[in-house]
Structure 1
Amino acid sequence: MPGRPISLQLGSCASSSPEGMNNTLNSSSLAPDLTISPTVTWVYFSVTFLAMVTCILGMAGNSMVIWLLSFRVQRSPFCVYVLNLAVADLLFLLCMASMIGLETRPLLTANTSIRVYEGMRRIKYFAYTASLSLLTAISTQRCLSVLFPIWYKCHRPQRLSSVVCGALWALALLMNFLASFFCVRFWHPSENQCFQVDMVLSSLILGIFMPVMILSSTILLIQVRKSTLLWRRRPRRLFVVILASVLVFLTCSLPLGIYWFLLYWVGGLPKVVSLLYICLSRFSSCLSSSANPVIYFLVGSQKSHRLQESLGAVLRRALRDEPELEGREIPSVCTNDEI
């Protein structure tokens, strides 16, 4: 009957807040019962379906990028970053798809499903942190290459990209380990400790990496615009890839991080508002992690040969670092100065 509220089992849409997390861990299902209208129910299932489809397509695209960069494309310093970013995005999408599957149709017993769900949520947080830090490193290194071109070409350490990627993975793992450790340690005395620890670590991550990413991307955009107007050259495809990836991340994936602050500082939000926001932010974060392979294809492909080139050739062209003169094409090169 229209207008009659119904009861619906929801997943992480409620469990991200302290109260929702407590109810989730103390109940026999993955989430508490929320009484919402049929319209909100329809929106929830529609957005959840779109998020699952986006996860599947994104996993396929990132898997293709990983395979091409591992076996088909010679690795440049930037290719190393892209490879690690694709791995982080693939891991994030895999965890998100698993969480959605457990929310809609748990395949395990209640206690086991809750443990698996919490494990997927922790790994998703780890992948999100790694993706954010890697994207920040990409934009920062490109900014340095524009501001200090002589140093970048002559004095940059040869293994800088691999070392930075390893350090960022280790940092993301350490942050996630500390969050999990304190959450388990303070589980029984105060279940709100889990959320408070996550808030502290999220504040550090967003407070450090986000301003650096925005500043370096802004400088890069200004420099690219100036060189384009001065030398009448097309912007390097590599710079277009970086700026597009950062823009998509800030537009789509950042709301997921803001959601934690919104729940922590703004109390008493209506359940419907909180539900719709977390579902939409979850879909947008899936879209962000799935967008990079599409960006590589659109930037690297030529209009006249868009459907005739191999994916390896398109990816090589998208990741090359040579400038292009107006109306000319330079052969695709991805230098092998770092393996």
Structure 2
Amino acid sequence: MNSIPAQGLTIEPTMDSVTWVYFVVTFLAMITCVLGMAGNSMVIWLLSFRVQQRSPFCIYVLNLAVADLLFLLCMASILSLETGLLPTVSISARVYEGMKRIKYFAYTVSLSLLTAISTQRCLSVLFPIWYKCHRPRYLSLVVCGVLWTLALFMNFLASFFCVQFWHPNENQCFGVDMVFSGLILGIFMPIMILSSTLLLIQVRKNTLLRRRMSSRLFVVILASVFVFLTCSLPLGIYWFLLYWVGLPRDVSLLYICLSRFSSSLSSSANPVIYFLVGSQKSHRLQESLGAVLGRALRDEPEPEGRETPSMCTNDDI
């Protein structure tokens, strides 16, 4: 979340090997961002206009797709500005800083939403009676609203203490980053890992539970969490910890460009996961995208010998 001093990574005129790697990886990241924006836009459109009744997990996935789309849009814009792909556009430093703020905001929302998804699914396995009978009807909507608000508040505080235009104090910015790293890397991340691990253990050792819950949704959640931890965690570590270490220029340049590429992969991977998990080999080219997405996010096991509905049909929201 830091921004002291101005953080634009400048590329020196001499094209050494590190600079070539930077441009190649940045080009790959740009392509990934474009494809990811198309995929997340498709998910948003399907869940917004093609699904009449939404399960709790459809609500979470819709919000996650919005956060990922926002992240990819800001990432693509920042990469374009830094590499001179938009030379005719005059962008002030304040606009560039604002894009970085929105990118941090979207990253935090994605992390918190994945934590909520894995935690709620874990609770549905550990406490099935409570989840089925006593769970608040609008729990998913309330949780999503709270997480968006919390991320916005955190980003506002980081901007107030760290943005260079407001003459911030570097010690205060460091303190804010340490608090946020404790919250994100010390609370959200462990909860996500713990809930996903418990979910995996419970489902693997309980045959009756595997029959009672949707195996596709189980795979979707675990795959999304694994991809985020593998691909997006390096960027968060850089923002909150390594930024303050003072790495050598070449090491810092390579790490930040690789972590940008991996985080772009993470935000672009979820639509691919949904459609791979939801598709059936025998009907892969015949059914609509809405049917595939609805099957992947279905909260109940599929009836044997019957067609799966093409929408997320759970009466609870």
Amino acid in the other structure paired with 1:182:
F
Which structure 2 residues correspond to residues 1-339 of structure 1 after superposition, within 5 A?
Answer: 21-24=4-7, 30-32=8-10, 34=12, 38-73=16-51, 74-105=53-84, 106-109=87-90, 112-184=91-163, 187-188=166-167, 190-191=169-170, 193-228=172-207, 236-264=215-243, 266-267=245-246, 269-324=247-302, 331-332=308-309, 334-338=312-316
Compute the TM-score of the two structures, normalised by the length of structure 2: 0.90
Partners of 2:169 and 2:312 in 1: how far apart? 53
Instruction: Give the unaligned 5+ runs of structure 2.
Output: none
Asked if the contact 2:162–2:168 (Cα under 8 Å) also holds between the matched residues in 1, the reply is no
Q: Deviations over 1:258-306 (max 9, x none)?
A: 1134425644x22111111110000000000000000000000001111
Displacement after TM superposition at 1:194 (Å): 3.8
Aligned-residue CA RMSD (Å): 2.5
Displacement after TM superposition at 1:199 (Å): 3.9
Displacement after TM superposition at 1:231 (Å): 6.2
2:92 is paired with a residue of what secondary structure?
Answer: helix
Identity between Structure 1 and Structure 2 (%): 80
Displacement after TM superposition at 1:230 (Å): 7.8
Amino acid in the other structure paired with 2:186:
G
Displacement after TM superposition at 1:330 (Å): 5.6
Displacement after TM superposition at 1:236 (Å): 1.4
TM-aligned CA distance change 1:177 to 1:17, over 3 Å: closer
After TM superposition, the structure 1 stretch with the greater mean CA deviation from structure 2, 187-196 or 49-58, is 187-196
Q: Select the structure of larger CA radius of gyration.
A: 1
1:320 is paired with a residue of what secondary structure?
Answer: coil
Compute the TM-score of the two structures, normalised by the length of structure 1: 0.84
TM-aligned CA distance change 1:56 to 1:158, over 3 Å: same
Amino acid in the other structure paired with 1:141:
Q
Partners of 1:107 and 1:329 in 2: how far apart? 57
Asked if the contact 2:2–2:163 (Cα under 8 Å) also holds between the matched residues in 1, the reply is no
Structure with bigger RCO (C-alpha 8 Å, 6+ apart): 2
Amino acid in the other structure paired with 1:207:
G
**Alignment coverage as a number of residue pairs:** 313
1:158 is paired with a residue of what secondary structure?
Answer: coil
After TM superposition, the structure 1 stretch with the greater mean CA deviation from structure 2, 139-148 or 234-243, is 234-243
Asked if the contact 1:55–1:290 (Cα under 8 Å) also holds between the matched residues in 2, the reply is yes
Asked if the contact 2:122–2:196 (Cα under 8 Å) also holds between the matched residues in 1, the reply is yes
Partners of 1:71 and 1:174 in 2: how far apart? 30
Displacement after TM superposition at 1:225 (Å): 1.1
